[in-house]
Structure 1
Amino acid sequence: MYQPSISRRGLIATLAAASALPLAACGSEDAKEGSSTGKASASDGKTYKIGVLQLTQHAALDQTNEGFIKALDEAGLSYDADQQNASNDQTACQTIAQTFVNDGSDLIFAIGTPAAQAVAAATKEIPIVGSAITDFESVGLVSSNDAPGGNVTGSSDLTPVSDQIDLLVKLVPDCKTAGILYCTAESNSTIQVDLAKEALESYDLPYEEFTVSSSNEIQSVVETAVGKVDAIYAPTDNTIAAAMAQVSSIADEAGVPVIVGCDTMVEDGGTASYSINYVDLGHKAGEMAVRILTEGENPADMPIEYLDASECTLIANQASADACGVDLGILDNPKIV
């Protein structure tokens, strides 16, 4: 039976405890732009103005947004949330970030690395809580993950990459060459790719990288990949995740399994994953925001927070497994979608 090897490699715990390492990073109803109002707080009666900048529309980021709002509501916070989606456009991120600053937001929630970078560039005074970001330190958002030192903190979506590679090897035992699919424009993906390479090398399994710079290149790149490899690994990359249905359609037709970085990528067609939960991730960020707003905590002194490895879920897509000839019966009680 497949058993995740967190205790053996412990990537999440290691990064949380040793932030100096150069490490860092999927439903729900779609997040919609506009304002939402939370229920009244019994603590101070103030209504907080919160800007929410989501990088793009896909299930993992939607779930992160959902979890954040859930935490605010559970705390009884009174708030007006201005929900904005940048549609994966960096210029739009910058414009929305500046609007939040000009509007005098009490706090800004940034979902995705480029969104957080745009907000951090726009203000050094307004507290910023980020999420769906793999390594805050390596992308320049904080001085260190243990001691942010500025106005940015949040929750990391570092996934157990080595366990995901273990899963690839388990499900595709005859794999001779693995492909790694990601977008070069996403720094968090590069961090995960480095971890994947390390894990593949520990198996002496050859690999080839297949990269895109935008969603327009996905079809041609994946079509090339499935002709060269026996299995593909795709990390929690926003560009790939948003196009997962397209990726899986091409891969399934070729009989090439795709092991992915998160559960929503499996739900959208990926073969399998060992995944964190993005609602929980957003909820953790929301709890941090509540402490900043109501308890006066300073983001500079709030270490980046991580989900515990025990909260990860083994998940598999039956249709993809059938198309690729993968036997899910060897897995230990996976969630099947």
Structure 2
Amino acid sequence: MFQIDLNLPQHQYNIFIEAHLLNKISEIISHLFKTKKVIIITDSNVDKNYGSVVKANLIDGGFDVQFIVLKPGEESKSLQSLEYIYNKLLDYSANRDTLLVALGGGVIGDITGFAAATFLRGIKYIQIPTSVIAQVDSSIGGKVAVNLERGKNLIGSFYHPHAVLIDPEVLRSLEDRFFFDGMAEVIKYGLIKDSQLFNNLMSYKTKEEIMANIEYIISTCCLIKKEIVEKDEKDIGERMLLNFGHTIGHGIEAYYEYKTYTHGEAVAIGMYCISGIGEQLGLTAPGCNEKIKAILQQYHLPYKAPVNVDELLEIIKNDKKVFDDGLNFILIKDIGNAYINKVKLQDVSIFLKKGAECNE
């Protein structure tokens, strides 16, 4: 078992990575917590694949187990779903000793964490991520949130899990589109912090090769995020680097009402687009844009999307990284070397229309 310890001034927790870890859930929870009341929040797709396995393992370990099952998809990360969760927690007589378990991808992790942070002013929860994005990124670092109609993650907080349990084998059940969707976040880590990871990703030609190296991939990404979060827990400095491609990506998602592009696909477009802007401004090394295009194509990810730039910019104006004097964009100087650069929205508009080649 690979274990990563994340240490913060007010909180410490472990990230466990091991194939077939789902079969050890009750053992790990028993070691970490005294409670016997567990409420699992998941979606119907994950429940169908892994709900019975997790439930049986916990019941065998002597736990009282209840499930809250949401519809799959970004639409469930809403205030309406949050209210539904609160009412189910009351129905199940949840108290401050109850342990919440987020069993699913990023949507489930985010809304479960927000529910845990706010129900009874805070109860414990753990993450059992079942998507690539959740395993390498969203389950770690304590960002919890729900969406509003006008933008993603506009209501949220920082509330860390008490453990993250990662079983890479569950990724084998993902459809190819959603597997490669998650690999966009892995590519992001290579672009912002680890050129060797990027080069290794370029060398994997099939999904089988990726899965053969998946524990290396996941642990590398988790270690990068651990180091960043320990330096900047509240996302006011270096942690912003993790948003490479996300500002435009979130805009793309909202522009298409979360129906056309997945999160990873939108981030892929955002990474290609912002690196093009960086090259046009002379802030990114020449050739990076083409390297990003090549790896996105290799991983079956889009790099362009037809948009009306003015409409997209109106959406981006609601981004939480917007300040009075501009927007904090993440750029790369070169592969593996990212930095923060404030850009005026007017300049963003000019380069989106004329220089970035992110739309067609």
TM over 0.5: no
TM-score by length of 1: 0.35
> Bigger relative contact order, structure 1 or 2, given CA contacts below 8 A and separation 6+?
1
TM-score by length of 2: 0.33
The structure whose residues are more often helix, as a share, is: 2
